[in-house]
Amino acid sequence: MLRLRVFALAIFLVPAVPALFLAPAAPALAQSLLPSSAPTMQDVDPGVDHTARDADLPPELRRKSIYYRTEQPPGTIIVNTADRFLYLIMGNGVALRYGIGVGRDGFQWGGIQKISLKREWPDWVPPPEMIQRQPYLPRWMAGGPGNPLGARAMNLGATVYRIHGTNAPETIGQAVSSGCFRLVNDDVIDLYSRVPVGTKVVVQHQ
């Protein structure tokens, strides 16, 4: 009698077991929680020179003197990744605003750094992390118009991130990079001339 009851209980429970393994809810939830690394537009390949398109930069992304309230002292750089602007604090409630390209989802960051190195028409050596993600990239590229770092580059602390120019001005205002901040070459040359090594850089990511 006991054996019959166990057999009947097994028949009742078995149909429920496959449902536990086939339920799609868990994978769907996990996917929705993962950050997307898709850029807002396709980036330009290294070596391609689109710098002539600087003239097509929308007016709202061009360098402009604006009223800007902040407690940061003059000479500080503030980067707002949500608005995609870089502000150089001039004092007396005034800042120079530059349109920038920022990191795509999953590669954005915030914090405080200092400019640790400045270079004109820098060579480009992609960091190992970037090579791992994009193994087709060149391991070294000489400075020049087709170089992704553009006309100037300013390293941020000991990180792999930089404020730099670009060979692709059409990406200004977009989220395409691996965490660096890019400006059109005219703007990065202007910024480069105004800030020394040691300049404080506040990156606001909301």
Q: Name the active-site residue from 164, 176, 179, 203.
A: 164
Choose the catalytic residue: 180, 188, 191, 195: 180
Delimit the domains of the chain by residue range.
2-33, 51-204
CATH class assigned to 51-204: mainly beta
- Please give the residue that has the higher pLDDT: either 206 or 161: 161
pLDDT number for residue 43: 59
Contact status, residue 187 vs residue 98, Cβ threshold 8 Å: yes
- Tokens, residue 64: 């402009």
Does 164 participate in catalysis according to the annotation? yes
Distance of CA 66 to the CA centre of its chain: 24
Q: Report CA-CA distances (Å) from 13 to 8, 16, 20, 23, 187.
A: 9, 6, 12, 17, 70
User: Containing H/E element for 87?
Assistant: strand 85-91
- Between 50 and 73, name the one with better pLDDT: 73
What pTM value is reported for the model? 0.75
* Percentage of the residues of the chain whose pLDDT score is greater than 70: 69
